[in-house]
C-alpha cells in the first residue's frame, strides 16, 4: 500500500478556546504560522486535505483537516510504502 505524507507550513487564524471569550479577550489575536502533517486524502486547486489516521482494510479516515491553498506557505509530499499489519489473536 502506497500512501503520501504531507508536511505543510500554513497560516491559520482559527482560535479554538473561546467558549466564554469577549471581544476584548480576542482583540490582540493575529494569524499564526503552523506546521501540520498527515496522510494525503485529496489535493486540488482549492486545498490539501490530510488525515491523522486511516483504517487500512476499509480506508475509513479519522480527523481530517483541509488547508486552503491560499493559506499554504510551503508544503512537501512524500510517497511512502506502508505494509499494513494484522492483529494476531492469542489462543
pLDDT tens for 26-81 read 787 889 999 999 999 999 999 999 999 999 889 899 999 999 999 999 999 999 99
Q: Which triple of cell numbers denotes residue 10?
A: 500554513
Does a structural domain hold residue 23?
no
> 33 lies in which domain range?
2-14+29-81
Q: Determine if the pTM surpasses 0.85.
A: no
Does a structural domain hold residue 87?
no
Task: Supply the pLDDT for residue 91.
Answer: 67
In eight-state DSSP terms, residue 30 is -
pLDDT tens for 10-38 read 999 877 665 777 888 778 788 999 999 99
Per the structure, the count of domains in the chain is: 1
- In which element (H, E) is residue 64 found? strand 60-68
Does a structural domain hold residue 33?
yes
More confident residue, 16 or 6: 6
Neighbours of 22 (CB within 10 A): 8
Amino acid at each position: 500500500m502506497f500512501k503520501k505524507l504531507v508536511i505543510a507550513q500554513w497560516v491559520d487564524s482559527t482560535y479554538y478556546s473561546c467558549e466564554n471569550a469577549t471581544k476584548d479577550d480576542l482583540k490582540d489575536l493575529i494569524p499564526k504560522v503552523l506546521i501540520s502533517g498527515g496522510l494525503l486524502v485529496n489535493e486540488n486547486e482549492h486545498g490539501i486535505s490530510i488525515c491523522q489516521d486511516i483504517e487500512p482494510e476499509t480506508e475509513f479516515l479519522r480527523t481530517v483537516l483541509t488547508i486552503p491553498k491560499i493559506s499554504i506557505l510551503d508544503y512537501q509530499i512524500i510517497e511512502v510504502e506502508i505494509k499494513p499489519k494484522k492483529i494476531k489473536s492469542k489462543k
